[in-house]
Amino acid sequence: MESLTDTNKKIISGTGGYFFANVANSVFGLAFIVLAVRILGLGDYGLLTIGITIFELAGNFGMFGLGLSSLKVLSGVLNEKNEEIIGAMFLINISIAVVLVAVLFFGSNWIAQLFFGKPLLAIVIKVIGVSLLFSLPLNLVMSILKAQKKVRLFFNVSLAKNIFKLLSLIFIFVFSDKLLGVSLTILSSSIISLGLGVYFMIKEKIYPKFKNVKKRTIEQISLGSQFLIIGLGYFLASQIDRLMLGSMKVAEEVGVFAIAASLAMTLGLVHTGMISIFMPMVSEMHKKDNLDSIGNMYYFSNMLVVFVNSLILIGFVILGNTVMKFLFNVDNPEILYIIFLMLSARYFIGTLTGPTGALLNMTGRQKIEVANTLISIVLNVILNLYMINRWGALGAALATLITILFLNIIQVIEIKKFYRIFIIKKNHWVVFLTLILLSLGFFVLGGNKLDILVIVGYYIIGTALFVTVFYFNLEKKQRRVMINLIHNLFR
């Protein structure tokens, strides 16, 4: 394969679109985190983080797997059946939202005290509970736009949400309770973004139809229930550490962990962007029984993401501590840096193995992925119970890292068995060893104790060295593809 196929060009275009959308969102998201930490302090920011995690958990349940199922069944040209499916999805979505609002609003005091022993958390839960009435339909709208490959519209809605959340910090000047004021930013941004999302759906003539409601609803409940378990599993496998940390330790530790996790998630931007375009394309190929094309697309997607995320990880190791000291005023920045590196490794592992879960979900193997996620949840809970008690936030990060490593090993074996795709090749080992050597070299030279100019210089030299090693480690045909990739990305 010496030139880029149409499929590869779509991956580059789609991944690039979602990546830049995610980067823009992350910039505003990071600004919100920095301001929230400085306004609230680590303790109250920890409470806010617990509340947001409960909000996201309820959101995962409230979506009832409709996010993933929409990518599977709504890809391609819309027809009357698809419009009926959209109608059924909205009925399910809004019905669950109403129930969740009631549970969280009226049960906030009980949840805050019984599960977390933190009465001040109740006000956050009340506000985020009401937010679900708007955020759940918003999530469904964004999933539909994603399924239809409306990258720019998806970008506009998600960016607007983060911008309005940042601007809504003005509430801290309205309310004497700063925690309440910051919590209200989630509600206000959800309301405004939902209006924008609905406007885009109308503009693109994506309408729900409420015909054959009973039939379509039963179909979507059946399909969505499988994806619900998967979605909840993904969430709990990666986020239950925050909930357990909040239940077992003080809010300040949750705040430190949340800062590190939010920054580490930058490594997931390219991977998430690629999956967003990969899933509907795989679904279409699977419908046509085109397994060879799926394999080629998998390899290409993985090569693209590994390259970009390796460059980001080098920056995290070398510049991460310096940047975090500048942004956040915490008592123990070294602990924050270590947790940050551990969680970054968690996201990079997913990079190396590729979109394993997405491939299983979009090719009718979702029951296998359900089993994978259930196993990972049990393992994560057991590891967190032991490690949080011993090491607090550090233990939570280690437990999540081990869980994700275990899950990805299982998925790699399954991908090899079902699709004859074995993604871990010589290139991956060379990448891994180069990153290890660059990191060790940085710490041997003195690490974060070095002068800032030396740190920046090491980053530039290390990046150039990695790019050189990566390029010459590729086969000649792969090099040509890489050159074409860069040409298409920047022209």
pLDDT of residue 29: 83
pLDDT in tens, 342-356: 999 988 887 777 777
User: What is the spatial distance between Cα 178 and Cα 175, in angstroms, rounded to a whole number?
Assistant: 7
The band of 11, judged by pLDDT with boundaries at 50, 70 and 90, is low
Inform me whether the pLDDT recorded for 274 exceeds 70. Answer: no
The band of 276, judged by pLDDT with boundaries at 50, 70 and 90, is low
Inform me whether the pLDDT recorded for 13 exceeds 70. Answer: no
- Give a yes or no: residue 95 inside a domain: yes
- Give a yes or no: residue 221 inside a domain: yes
- Give a yes or no: residue 114 inside a domain: yes
Inform me whether the pLDDT recorded for 488 exceeds 60. Answer: no
pLDDT of residue 339: 93
Inform me whether the pLDDT recorded for 238 exceeds 80. Answer: no
pLDDT in tens, 209-225: 888 889 989 988 888 88
- Give a yes or no: residue 1 inside a domain: no
| Nearest alpha carbon to residue 125 among 114, 139, 141 | 114
pLDDT of residue 9: 55
**Alpha carbon of 155 to those of 158, 165, 170, 216, 236: distances in Å?**
5, 15, 24, 29, 26
Average pLDDT, the chain: 83
The band of 6, judged by pLDDT with boundaries at 50, 70 and 90, is low
Out of 191-205, 275-289, 344-358, 450-464, least confident range: 275-289
Inform me whether the pLDDT recorded for 1 exceeds 50. Answer: no
- Give a yes or no: residue 282 inside a domain: yes
The band of 74, judged by pLDDT with boundaries at 50, 70 and 90, is confident
- Give a yes or no: residue 89 inside a domain: yes
| Count of the separate structural domains present in the chain | 1
Question: 127: which 2 tokens?
Answer: 């506000």
User: What is the spatial distance between Cα 213 and Cα 232, in angstroms, rounded to a whole number?
Assistant: 26
pLDDT in tens, 281-324: 666 666 666 666 666 677 777 777 788 888 888 999 998 888 88
Inform me whether the pLDDT recorded for 361 exceeds 90. Answer: no
**Contact in structure between 321 and 452 (CB atoms under 8 Å):** no
Inform me whether the pLDDT recorded for 23 exceeds 50. Answer: yes
> Domain range for residue 262?
6-490
- 387 residue type, one letter: M
Inform me whether the pLDDT recorded for 68 exceeds 70. Answer: yes
pLDDT of residue 323: 86
pLDDT of residue 105: 94
**What would the DSSP string read from start to end of 416-476?**
HHHH------HHHHHHHHHHHHHHHHHHHTTGGGS-HHHHHHHHHHHHHHHHHHHHHHS-H
pLDDT in tens, 94-130: 999 999 999 999 999 999 999 999 999 999 999 989 9
- Give a yes or no: residue 335 inside a domain: yes
- 104 residue type, one letter: L
Question: 32: which 2 tokens?
Answer: 């919100």
pLDDT of residue 2: 44
When comparing pLDDT for 114 and 11, which is higher?
114
- Give a yes or no: residue 448 inside a domain: yes
| Burial label, 109 (beta-carbon count in 10 A; 0-12, 13-18, 19+) | middle
The angle formed by the CA atoms of residues 300, 143 and 9, to the nearest 5 degrees, is 25
User: What is the spatial distance between Cα 433 and Cα 131, in angstroms, rounded to a whole number?
Assistant: 45
pLDDT in tens, 412-456: 888 888 877 777 777 778 888 888 898 888 888 877 788 888 888
